[in-house]
Each structure stands twice: as C-alpha cells, then as structure tokens.
Amino acid sequence: MPWTLNGLVGLYLRFGLIGRPEAVNRPAAFSWTLIEDPIAVAACRILNDFRPLDHILRSIFADTTDRDRKRYLAAALAQFCFRGGVRYEVLASISGREGWDEQFEPKHPMPLAYFDGSDRSYVVPLNATIASQALDRVAKDNRAELFDTFVSLGSAIASRVNRNAIRRRSPEARLAGRLFDYDQVVRGFLGDMSSRLYDAVQDLWQWNSRYWEQVALLNLAQYQAAPSTQDGKDALTRAIQHARHAVSIENHPLPLTTLGKILLAQLGPDKSVNEAAYSEAFGRLTEAIERERHWAHRNVHSFISLIRGTIEYFDRGGRLTQTQVNQLRRIASEATALFRRDARWQMQLLNYQSSCAKSMPFYSVDAPPFSSVSIPRMRRTLFSTRMLDTAATRGPPGGGSDVNERMQSKSCDSSVQVNAIAQFRLLSHRYQIIPLTPTARSAR
C-alpha cells in the first residue's frame, strides 16, 4: 500500500499538481499519512484542495437519515474538540441506539468507529478528514443544524463535568473546555449564533468560571467589531463584568488572564482611564503569572497579554511606576528563559524592547524595563565585544541627547550599559536613538 501511495504522490509531483510543501519535500513520509484515507480524500489532501470533497459530502448528506447525520455530527464535533471523541453513552443519549450497529459498518455513508477497538468506550468518525470537512459544510449550509449539535453535546456532557473532573482532566472536562472556546471553536462554526449557544446552556454551565470567560470574550469581540458605538461600549462593560464574575467564581490563572486582557481593551485617548485600566490589568496579569509559578506547565498567554498591553500603554503616553518597572524586568527575564522557542513570545519581547527604548527617558537607568536574560543572548548572536565598543562610538547622526544624558549617569551599572548598547544599536535606526558616546565610555 505505501508504495502505491508513493506512486500516486509521484504522479502528482510529475505533473506539477501538488499543493502541500511536505508532499514535495518529503514525499515518502507524506505518503504514510495518507494510508488510512479513502482515495478521494488522499487526492484532495495531495492537491490541498477540498472542493471535490464538498461534492462528495453533498451526496453523502443526501443519502443519510436525519438520525444518523445527527449522531455523526455530534461525534465529529466531539473529535474536533477532543481527539478521543465522545463517550458511547453520551452519544447514545443524543441520538438514540436505533441504527447504531449499521453506522459502525465501513460501507455506511457516515461511518463511525471506536477510538480504541479493545475498549469501545469512546466513539469517533471513521475518517477525521471527512468529519472535519462535514462540519465546515454544515456550518456554511445549515448553521442551525450545527447549533443544535453544539447544544445537544454541551447538554449531554454537563452531568459528567464538575470541579473534581476538571482537576482530574477527565475526557468530558477536556471536551467541554474546548467545545465552549469562543475564539478557537464557537466563533468559527456558529458566527452570529454564538451568543445563542451560551444563552441555551447557561443553566447547566453557569457554575463554571470558564463558561463566563467565554461569554466575556464574546462580548469583547462585539466591542472590537464596533468600538466607537454605544453598543460596542456596552459590550465592553459587559465583558469586564463577566470576566470579574469568572474570577469571583475561581481565582485561577486562566480567568485572571482573561480579565487582564479585557481590561487592557479599555486603553484609549483618555490618559486618566488608561492609568487605572493598566494598573488593574497589571495586577491581575502579574497575579496570574505568580500563581502559575509552581506549575509544571507554564502558559505563555499571561506573559504575552502583559507585554502587549504594556506596549500599547507606552504608545498612548503611559508611564510606569518604579515597582512596575522592576516587576516587568523580572517577568521578561523569566519568560525569556521559559519560552526560548516560542515565536509568539520572542516577537512580543522585541516589540516590548522597542517600546522601552522609545520610552526610556521616562525611567531611571538603574532599573530599565527590559529583559536581562534575552539581551546577553542577542549580544552573543549579533555583537562581539569589539562591535559593542564600535557601537558606543559610532551612533547614527541626530537625536537622542536626553537618552545619552541618562545613560552617562555614573550610577548606571556597567552590565546594564553594555546591554543597553546592544539594544540601542539594534533599534537606533527605527527610533533615532544614539548609543553611548565616547564620554559615556570614559565614565564607565
């Protein structure tokens, strides 16, 4: 079988029809990923074009009863949210057991299978690619049907999720966490019907802090869609209150991070509002980071939200207290050590360092608000000692005298000066900031 698929991939390669880079670069390895797919799905994956599969799905939907389609869509949505699928008893409570055995036959238009053939506790669609495309097709053609699937699945697992199940990370708890995720799941599938979903399941899930987090994020999205209108401003007010309610239910890093992120959405032209909003957001996000400090797995989102909000606060003319500066320096160093390979964090850190350099006149030099871990690493990569000395004597012409005066302070630690030289050299052309002058070098 693999050699047949190798030949198929080779033919598409020969005629210049491949649409996936991995199929071009590693055709043999890519062929193995197709081994369980029907030939129609394999061809679509090679082409990276699923339009032919849409025509197949239309005929499949036409040949399937409402009962079997409802069962299949529930299993497909569950697998989309949690790889292990949905428990047998949960799926049976949604669609009944009539026609059950027939749908586990491969010849059925919408076939199901057991995730673990030896256990038979959890059910998944026989082919995950077709199931994913089926969800997309229903979201476009009959969103109300998919809405009913969300409500049915969310209601069916509600009795199996409680605080103990969440702590144990039971399959149903993990499924629920993803099923109601507004940004990653609900918005993409349900669009403007999203708010109806949260209303429909509120009685069953309002005890859960994550439910209110997602309702808050829904309202945040409504504000971001129309920030200058009264409806948009009202949505932001609701988002903040729902996020605070989530923290009241459970003072946990995830709702704290959500609240901090939403509070930062208040930043605008009014500097008095900005200071209060940033201060509260800063406190919530640093608390989230502190609570996660002893976790085995650290989450990058609280760090990114804090740094991104600080950048915007800088851009709107905000100023930090010395305590905030010290905390940010420690947090940036900690995150750089934790997330060295996380591209999202590295990008935010560079943006943050740029904003710090731009806003440096606002701060004392003995505690600059940038990372003491990332800069030596950048220095090793981009600068030798001789290049740093050159940077100190050959800055770009124009501007930056206020910064130089501060950098010439004798109270400035020499290691901080060296780090600052590297950063100012990197950012000088963008912000027209001069690195240390020869006078500063002699003072050092």
Per-residue pLDDT of 1-58, as tens digits, reads: 454 777 777 777 766 767 677 777 777 887 777 776 766 677 777 766 556 667 778 8
Residue 396 DSSP class: P
Q: What CA–CA distance (Å, rounded) separates 87 from 241? A: 35
Q: What CA–CA distance (Å, rounded) separates 273 from 241? A: 17
Q: What is the pLDDT of residues 83-121, one digit of tens each?
A: 999 999 999 999 998 888 999 998 888 999 999 877 889
| Structure token pair of residue 361 | 């006149």
3-state SS, residue 87: strand
Are 204 and 111 a contacting pair, CB within 8 Å?
no
DSSP-H helix ranges across 265-366: 271-292, 301-315, 322-338, 343-359
Check residue 363 and give its pLDDT: 42
Q: What does each C-alpha distance from 167 to 163, 170, 173 come to in angstroms? A: 6, 8, 9
- Cβ atoms within 10 Å, residue 173: 21
Which DSSP helix (H) or strand (E) runs through 422? helix 414-431
Calculate the CA 284 to chain-centre distance: 19
Q: What is the pLDDT of residues 239-270, one digit of tens each?
A: 999 999 999 999 999 999 999 999 999 998 88
Check residue 237 and give its pLDDT: 96
Q: What CA–CA distance (Å, rounded) separates 388 from 381? A: 12
**Residue-level pLDDT, tens digit, the chain, 444 residues:** 454 777 777 777 766 767 677 777 777 887 777 776 766 677 777 766 556 667 778 878 888 899 999 999 999 999 999 999 999 999 999 999 888 899 999 888 899 999 987 788 999 999 888 899 899 999 998 999 999 999 999 999 999 999 999 999 999 999 999 999 999 999 999 999 999 999 999 999 999 999 999 999 999 999 999 999 999 999 999 999 999 999 999 999 999 999 999 999 999 888 778 899 999 999 999 999 999 888 877 888 898 899 889 989 988 888 888 899 889 888 888 888 888 777 777 676 666 666 665 554 444 333 344 443 343 443 333 333 333 333 333 333 344 334 333 333 333 344 444 444 444 444 443 333 333 333 433 444
Q: Residue 269 burial (CB < 10 Å; 0-12/13-18/19+)?
A: exposed
Cα torsion 170, 174, 177, 179 to 10°: value is -120
Q: What CA–CA distance (Å, rounded) separates 309 from 324? A: 13
Please choose, from the candidates 352, 336, 268, the residue with its C-alpha nearest in 3D space to the C-alpha of residue 300.
336
> Residue 112: what are its φ and ψ, rounded to 5°?
-110, 165
Are 62 and 69 a contacting pair, CB within 8 Å?
no
Q: Give bridge partners of residue 87 from the DSSP assignment.
A: 122
Can you give the length of the chain in residues? 444
Domain assignments of the chain as residue spans, ordered by start: 2-49, 63-207, 251-367, 376-443
> Residue 197: what are its φ and ψ, rounded to 5°?
-65, -50
* DSSP secondary structure, 300-320, as one string: SHHHHHHHHHHHHHHHTT---
